[in-house]
Amino acid sequence: MNNFGTFTKLSPLSLLRHLSNSSESTCLQALSNSVSWSVYLEQGRITYATHSVEPFDRLERHLRRLSHHVPSIIGEVRVQLRLMFEPDTKSQPVGYHNNTHAQSIPPPLPPEYQAICWLVSERYLHSTQAAILIQELVKEVLESYLLIKQGTFTLQNSHYRVPTICKLDVEKIVERCQKKLHNWHLLGPQISSPYQRPYLLIKATKNPKKISGIDPQLTEWMKGFSLRHLSVIMNQDEVELAKILYPHILDGTILLHEPDPPFDQLPKTFTDFVKASSYVTQSADTKFVDSALASNRTISKENSATSTKKTPISSQKEQVKDLTTSNNKKIEYEAEALATETPRKVYKVISVDDSPTILKEISRFLEDENFSVVTINDPLKAVMSIIRYKPDLILLDLNMDGMDGYELCRIVRNNSMFKKTPIIMVTGNKGLIDRVKARLVGASGYLTKPFTRADLLKIVFTHLA
């Protein structure tokens, strides 16, 4: 079979199944809503899959989850991977070509796959662990691929062989993806994307776990992170986490914000997913969600106040029972917020930059997210201010008059109080040499100007987590 060409009227699933019968090395590429997908196959089996929306964020999340079982995958290793392999600039989606000569150009090896190969070669991971990592990455990518409604699909014969760590059976992995999508679909329309960001509207004074049924540690991170990112921080299955939050989303205790760019470009799990007939049976999960949706009422304050500690599953069952038996009861959210709101931990951030505009933007981006931001426009005065305020995180501009960020970072790191304090370099320099120099003086991360609010929050929350 000659696997090249461009198609517009094929379903994503049918095309993938068709390729599972091929004996050739093929790269399937799709483009929809400015997002590109690449699925690499050898002899009808998947060797890797990726899409263009934050591939290194995806790798970072799965490496963090894997690090619970592989102690060698520490934060420094993950930062090193980004410095070595993450592209400096965002260009045309990796491996996608829309011209008539595309067939003659072999799809490039995804940089995050190169990073995984490096982890294996440097013995941070053995081949079995790398295969598990790739399987989880492929599942996440295929979940969004299967949601494509309209797109352009390109098939290319691979003129080289991707270094093969594992080969995944198409039918088996598609079946797992469909089950996962079905579970996400059951949580709609309230939850329509794993990248939505939950915010706690009210919080109990004495015991938030007893009142809300939510782990207090979870409430500390429920501002800025998406459901998918939260599940990694809590080391919990993301659908199970969404189920725990679901009754509180229904009653208005938790508000869901739409995904930040560029995650908003990915297909939504509710509006775009059509249930497969093989998964429409009334499972326990279906009954849980259908019962909650049918009632669509709030949990009464009396029931919440008298609830006791339970496992997440038993807590969910009682919450659903409360939902179905309560009639015309409504929490007065504004009054209760004043009476029961407790202060969240406020993280102290110092931002050093000789540009008043940048300092103002950083303050505006962070102060709405429960941070206390101290801005300093004179690097020569920054050291004493850092010692005085003892921040949880430091943002340093690289190019400043009087003292550059490299020197300031080195001085701060030499103080024993700040050996482990995250220091993020903020700069317009995009070269690899600048990133390496930042790393050598002790920087924890690197944020390139211009940046969006989502970019800033992502790197800040990542290092504070």
**Phi first, then psi: what are they for 268, rounded to 5°?**
-85, 150
Which DSSP helix (H) or strand (E) runs through 200?
Answer: strand 197-200
pLDDT for 105-150, tens place per residue? 556 789 999 999 999 999 999 999 999 999 999 999 999 999 998 8
Residue 290: pLDDT above 80? no
Q: Model confidence at 193, in pLDDT bands (50, 70, 90)?
A: very high
- The pLDDT of residue 9: 62
Report residue 369's pLDDT band, with 50, 70 and 90 as the boundaries.
Answer: low
> Where are the CATH 3.40.50.2300 domain residues in the chain?
347-464
Alpha-helical runs (H) found in 91-237: 111-121, 127-145, 170-186, 208-212, 216-220, 227-233
Q: What are the pLDDT digits (tens) for 20-33? A: 988 888 889 999 99
Give the sign of the dihedral formed by CA 379, CA 421, CA 84, CA 448: negative
Q: Assign 3-class secondary structure to 253-282.
A: CEEEECCCCCHHHCCCCCCCCCCCHHHCCC
Q: Which residue has the higher pLDDT, 276 or 184?
A: 184
Whether the CB-CB separation of 369 and 220 falls below 8 Å is answered with no
pTM confidence score: 0.65
pLDDT above 70 (res 227): yes
pLDDT at 460: 86
Q: Helices 75-85 and 432-440: crossing angle, nearest 10°?
A: 160
At 160, the pLDDT band (50, 70, 90 cuts) reads low
Predicted confidence at residue 161, as pLDDT, reads 58
Please say if the pLDDT value at position 324 is more than 90: no
User: What is the percent of the chain where pLDDT is above 70?
Assistant: 72
Is residue 36 within 8 Å of residue 93, measured between CB atoms? yes
More confident residue, 460 or 317: 460
267-288 pLDDT, tens digit each: 999 864 444 433 333 344 444 4
How far the first Cα of the chain sits from its last, in Å, is: 49
Averaged pLDDT, 154-162? 70
State the pLDDT at residue 270: 85
CA distances to 151, 153, 355 from 16, in Å: 14, 11, 51
pLDDT at residue 14 is higher than 70: yes
Note the pLDDT tens digit of each residue in 37-91: 999 999 899 999 999 999 999 999 999 899 888 888 887 788 788 878 888 654 4
- How high does pLDDT run on average in the chain? 77
Residue 219, SS3 per DSSP: helix
Least confident of 103-112, 168-177, 363-372: 103-112
Residue range 347-464 forms a domain whose CATH class is alpha beta
